[in-house]
Chains A and B, each alone.
Chain A
């Protein structure tokens, strides 16, 4: 698997992970602190940025507002870009990024909602976010909070966990129109998803869009493409080797 070309690519990434084009590049560099991040970190940056910059109705001032949109990061290992985005948007002080994972840090290698402002769930063990998102969507609906949307980000390999499929089937049957799942598809599932991850959702009544996970306008259109009373899934495809 580790072809020379792959290794060369990764070395190049480590040297210049974001080539300065991304607005949160300096913040991510503070989290990175010279370490070599895997492709999974970079593969989620674009969708995180589009969500926090253009879609989610949430600010540090409304982080506890019942009417806020929710973003649940289920693949908790994609945390470096998440922290950088939260810092860019003022949820956490940039200074917190410098000792990420340290003994006094509130920022672990997986996020803890009780330690980090703006973080909706603690995650790390795969397959928990979608169920929590379904419960959150149901809880909002039960309280007549019909404006907020619930977004949950999972990985294509994370979909291996059967708990996701309990949630996908039920959310479709329950018509949870306030729920949007995002599958970050970097083709990392060991046995793949023949026909694409979206089919696992659409067969259960979800609407779906599959887009280039680096194309901000395409992501924006897909992430705001909900219609009506069905849950919505956006499959964001990113290059497996480059992961960016």
Chain B
């Protein structure tokens, strides 16, 4: 079962259990909600291929007291109708739960139109949003139930990429591998964890996991971090750098922020290919981390990720 299947099952249950819940679609995944739409025709609303309307409708539903879940492919949900998120939700003080599929490059072979590495950074321009980036399908039901039951706005970023095991919890940093005092702290977000663990095997690096980059667990970060922090995010590199910098502002520290590069590669292939090209596979991560930890500047051969290049 992939994350989208978990989302469909949990949402279908929520629609049946909680009459405040509504689902707004723009054709994407509509076929998976056929049964739910037949049972709840007034609360499962497929507006067709109209993303501006999808978010406007969500805003209107929320203004009447419903709790809308809005779902589409990440670039169409977050990027295409960004002003509707800003104005039809936030400016109206209307709240919704946005759930995307596609992530950064799940459908790499579809090309740039279906890639959305900047989605979390874009949501991060807004105020008060919770962002969940689950790393395993089994994390999805709990996150979805919790965010729908809450009142705030939230963005759940689902992917076909996944770690080998789930880490339930509310999103505070989970200590996965403790390398002892003085070690660098690597924070892996969502489905980057397994590659980060493989990359740092045998290195003096403590590894922590979170599926909730916003609000980032800054208290946990301050507890676990010494003076070297490595961020590994499955979306735009540096998205959480400002949060880490602010959390450690009183502490001399170094930060390596890894993630997806800004350059449009104009290559197809698979998600695994793009992970490699962006230096997010175990070998690429190990190159970056080793370079970061090596004190002598002369020994620090820039990695592809550092240079924003691909190999």
Interface of A toward B, CB cutoff 8 Å: 66, 112-114, 120-122, 125, 127-128, 130-143, 145, 162-163, 166-167, 169-170, 173
In Å, the complex CA distance between A112 and B91 comes to 8
Asked if B84 CB lies within 8 Å of chain A CBs, one says yes
B window 30-70: CB within 8 A of A: 42-43, 45, 47-48, 50, 52-53, 55-66
Q: Could you say which of B47, B60, B93 has the most chain A C-beta atoms within 10 Å of its C-beta?
A: B60
B91 touches A170 (CB 8 A): no
Give chain A residues whose Cβ lies under 8 Å from the Cβ of B22: 139, 142
A136 touches B64 (CB 8 A): yes
Partner of B60, one of A122, A127, A136: A136
Give chain B residues whose Cβ lies under 8 Å from the Cβ of A162: 52
Closest CB in chain A relative to B303 CB, distance in Å? 43
Given known pairs A114-B93, A122-B91, the reply for A135 and B56 (CB within 8 Å) is: yes
Given known pairs A122-B92, A141-B42, the reply for A131 and B56 (CB within 8 Å) is: yes
* Leading 9 A-B pairs by shortest Cβ distance: A135-B60, A131-B56, A139-B64, A135-B57, A142-B42, A136-B60, A166-B50, A166-B53, A163-B52
Give chain A residues whose Cβ lies under 8 Å from the Cβ of B66: 139, 142-143
In Å, the complex CA distance between A128 and B85 comes to 11
Provide 11 A-B residue pairs closer than 8 Å at the C-beta atoms, listed in order of the A residue. Answer: A66-B64, A127-B52, A131-B55, A132-B56, A132-B59, A132-B92, A137-B60, A143-B65, A163-B52, A163-B56, A166-B52
B93 touches A133 (CB 8 A): no
Give chain B residues whose Cβ lies under 8 Å from the Cβ of A136: 60-61, 63-64
A128 touches B53 (CB 8 A): no
Give chain B residues whose Cβ lies under 8 Å from the Cβ of A138: 42, 45, 57, 60-61
In Å, the complex CA distance between A133 and B59 comes to 9
Partner of A139, one of B48, B61, B83: B61
Main SS at interface, chain B? helix
Give chain B residues whose Cβ lies under 8 Å from the Cβ of A113: 92-93
In Å, the complex CA distance between A40 and B91 comes to 24
Interface size on B, residues (CB 8 A): 28
Give chain A residues whose Cβ lies under 8 Å from the Cβ of B47: 166, 170
Closest CB in chain B relative to A233 CB, distance in Å? 17
Give chain A residues whose Cβ lies under 8 Å from the Cβ of B59: 131-132, 135
B63 touches A132 (CB 8 A): yes
Give chain A residues whose Cβ lies under 8 Å from the Cβ of B57: 131, 134-135, 138
Partner of A135, one of B50, B58, B91: B58
B87 touches A128 (CB 8 A): yes
Apart from A113-B93, A134-B53, what are 15 other A-B pairs with CB-CB below 8 Å? A113-B92, A122-B87, A122-B91, A131-B56, A132-B56, A132-B60, A132-B88, A133-B60, A139-B63, A139-B65, A141-B42, A142-B61, A167-B56, A169-B50, A170-B48
In Å, the complex CA distance between A20 and B56 comes to 39
Interface of B toward A, CB cutoff 8 Å: 22, 42-43, 45, 47-48, 50, 52-53, 55-66, 83-84, 87-88, 91-93
Main SS at interface, chain A? helix
In Å, the complex CA distance between A133 and B53 comes to 10
Give chain A residues whose Cβ lies under 8 Å from the Cβ of B55: 131
A131 touches B48 (CB 8 A): no
In Å, the complex CA distance between A162 and B188 comes to 41
Give chain A residues whose Cβ lies under 8 Å from the Cβ of B62: 135, 139
A66 touches B92 (CB 8 A): no
Give chain B residues whose Cβ lies under 8 Å from the Cβ of A132: 56, 59-60, 63, 88, 92
Given known pairs A138-B42, A167-B53, A170-B50, the reply for A131 and B84 (CB within 8 Å) is: yes
A140 touches B64 (CB 8 A): yes
Q: Could you say which of A134, A135, A141 has the most chain B C-beta atoms within 10 Å of its C-beta?
A: A135
B61 touches A120 (CB 8 A): no
B56 touches A128 (CB 8 A): yes
In Å, the complex CA distance between A162 and B52 comes to 9
A125 touches B60 (CB 8 A): no
In Å, the complex CA distance between A145 and B61 comes to 13
Give chain B residues whose Cβ lies under 8 Å from the Cβ of A139: 22, 60-66
Given known pairs A131-B52, A163-B52, the reply for A120 and B84 (CB within 8 Å) is: no
The chain B residue sitting closest to A139, CB to CB, is B64
In Å, the complex CA distance between A127 and B56 comes to 10
Give chain A residues whose Cβ lies under 8 Å from the Cβ of B48: 169-170, 173
Closest CB in chain B relative to A124 CB, distance in Å? 8
In Å, the complex CA distance between A130 and B88 comes to 11
Give chain B residues whose Cβ lies under 8 Å from the Cβ of A141: 42
In Å, the complex CA distance between A226 and B205 comes to 69
In Å, the complex CA distance between A145 and B65 comes to 12
